[in-house]
Structure 1
């Protein structure tokens, strides 16, 4: 019977990056992913890297580490992750005061620059000038999330890591039980995004980790050219997350919806010409809840059409995934109290920025000591 040092549950970018860093450090690692082709948050992500958005010394440090990491990551992983820099355009609704909205960003590491309507339309010619009173702009990183995840996995396998397509049914103190076998390990770390709460509940572990049902439209490569990554300056998602976690007990029963759904109209074009148009966020407490895809797609297209009319009727397919979050925007990282062999690495508010540096820090922490992970743990107490 083989016993691994670590079993990592979840093959999105979080689990892939962590598996790679643990294997690189010298641990024996088994990575488990339930789907041959995952339908997770990584697959449907915009791919944006908001390394400019740190508001505390810790998040600013991690953002600086992230951009340095991404600049060498393609070479280290021996794969093209399509890392680039583009202009982020944060749209300000026609009824809002641009200066008041801009003031909300004053504490960011790199505050975005305020644009007039004319300047915003020059930067993004597809923008509907009647829908905005102005916009904010800042340089923004971008990657292809799926290609980055696969690059991490292939590099992990080259370091001797193992991967199995297997659905975890139960987390044990000495491994996991799946639909194909029981695997044994000294440690288990849960990186299963929106399914993490349910998995830990199977082991009798209550945890304040939550999830939204995120919905987007993914288009094939198209001739229309979007010049920027477009998002609203007044993001509703973070308010939704904060309100939905006020009563944790609501999340223990399927069928609840702590707050109504929201839509943050945005779009990004990948290097192959395909687009991601989004995003609806719903706090449905059942991770397997059914969503009306036709109604959602209509809502998405109508909202996108108000800001970027040329994108509203492009061919595309509605998709849905779970996105994990915590109650205070800090990720949940480290051993779970009273369950020393079971760890969590999830709940990232800005995952594509924070995961690569924090995966490195986590591997250092479990090998000895790391001040960053220690600080995150102390912030939780």
Structure 2
């Protein structure tokens, strides 16, 4: 039985980044992931970095800090993460006016600019101009999320960190203290266990008799094979419906239903998103469903048809390219902010999860978490503590404003 300072549960991009930062601080860290290439939110991420989209002081500060880190992250991690900055075209969805969407985004860190349809089609010649009712433009960051995850993992291992591909079957507790994790073959002990399991976080905690205000959607997207068709931009519809879906799904009246299998708490939504990676593959999506069973079976044929039909309105040349349907869980909290820190009432247990869209702010939060863990006070992290759902929030301006409208990033996570 090995004992560590830290066990990080979940080896996606959040867990990999946090493990790396904890190891940089000199901690002995074990990172556990069930598979070498899991069908997770990291694997099926768009890789978008909506650093411009924050509307609160916290998200604006972390967005700026995050994009600055990404610009040098390949050098730091000694690996190419395919970082680039692209034109993002926000296509105003039917039923909304461009004036309404523009006004809603006016308080972003870098507000998107309205552009003529003709200009949008010059930036992205594959667009169908007749389908465009209005377009906003922003400069959007982008990485390859899986290559970035691998880069964090390898840098973590160079620092002496341990990576094991084992399923975590449970948390071991002594009273109100978590002492380690169970796997099918072993027990691993640690002074602190950090759960970075994304959409599986709730199920893992509930199995140990622990409640946390964390939820998940079932996200459906398509992964198209590398194509000769070349997209010049990132395309997505606006406003993002998923923000309202999450707000409704996490309403206190619905909370008891989350632990009952077979519940669909809200009607599904489809936010159009189209992005091409440097290898030529294309991501189309996405449908979000609020089903309380994390292992719910979805209709892949129906989901694929719906996505292709909606994308086809805007980019018909792309919509029918060959590819496959993908499905994963995406975690979120009750106020669209991640859960970062100790869970009230428990010792030895921390959360670094609930990121609807982790990428833009992830490097900054992972570094701040690790620095605070080793004695450096942080101005922002107290506002993200899970304790905010059970006690008055710490005095900080970062959570002021309309929580349901804080960013666009959940689609391009």
TM-score by length of 1: 0.98
- Contact (CA 8 Å) 2:202, 2:214: kept in 1 or not? yes
Structure-2 change in CA distance of 1:255 and 1:95 (3 Å): closer
| Aligned equivalent of 1:184 | 189
Distance (Å, rounded) in 1 between the aligned partners of 2:56 and 2:374: 27
Residues 1:372 and 2:380 aligned together:
yes
- Contact (CA 8 Å) 1:135, 1:233: kept in 2 or not? no
- 3-state SS, counterpart of residue 222 of structure 2: strand
The alpha-carbon deviation at position 370 of structure 1 amounts to 2.1
The alpha-carbon deviation at position 175 of structure 1 amounts to 0.2
Residues 1:5 and 2:5 aligned together:
yes
Residues 1:41 and 2:46 aligned together:
no
Q: How many residues align?
A: 381
Distance (Å, rounded) in 2 between the aligned partners of 1:106 and 1:338: 40
Distance (Å, rounded) in 2 between the aligned partners of 1:94 and 1:220: 29
| Aligned equivalent of 1:203 | 208
- Contact (CA 8 Å) 1:218, 1:277: kept in 2 or not? yes
- 3-state SS, counterpart of residue 339 of structure 1: coil
- Contact (CA 8 Å) 2:226, 2:282: kept in 1 or not? yes
Distance (Å, rounded) in 1 between the aligned partners of 2:356 and 2:319: 28
- Contact (CA 8 Å) 1:260, 1:283: kept in 2 or not? yes
User: CA RMSD, aligned part only?
Assistant: 1.1
Distance (Å, rounded) in 2 between the aligned partners of 1:93 and 1:360: 37
Residues 1:337 and 2:344 aligned together:
yes
| Aligned equivalent of 1:220 | 225
| Aligned equivalent of 1:319 | 326
Runs of 4+ in 1 over 6 A off after TM superposition: none
| Aligned equivalent of 2:404 | none
- Contact (CA 8 Å) 1:116, 1:133: kept in 2 or not? no
| Aligned equivalent of 1:84 | 84
| Aligned equivalent of 2:31 | 31
Deviation digits for residues 297-320 of structure 1 (CA, Å, limit 9, x no counterpart): 111111110111111110101110
| Aligned equivalent of 2:313 | 306
| Aligned match for 1:262, one of 263, 269, 284 | 269
TM-score by length of 2: 0.90
The alpha-carbon deviation at position 95 of structure 1 amounts to 4.6
| Aligned equivalent of 2:152 | 152
- Contact (CA 8 Å) 1:214, 1:281: kept in 2 or not? yes
Distance (Å, rounded) in 1 between the aligned partners of 2:94 and 2:238: 12
| Aligned equivalent of 1:112 | 112
| Aligned match for 1:281, one of 262, 285, 288 | 288
The alpha-carbon deviation at position 366 of structure 1 amounts to 1.1
| Aligned equivalent of 1:50 | 50
Distance (Å, rounded) in 1 between the aligned partners of 2:301 and 2:263: 22
Unmatched 5+ stretches in structure 1:
none
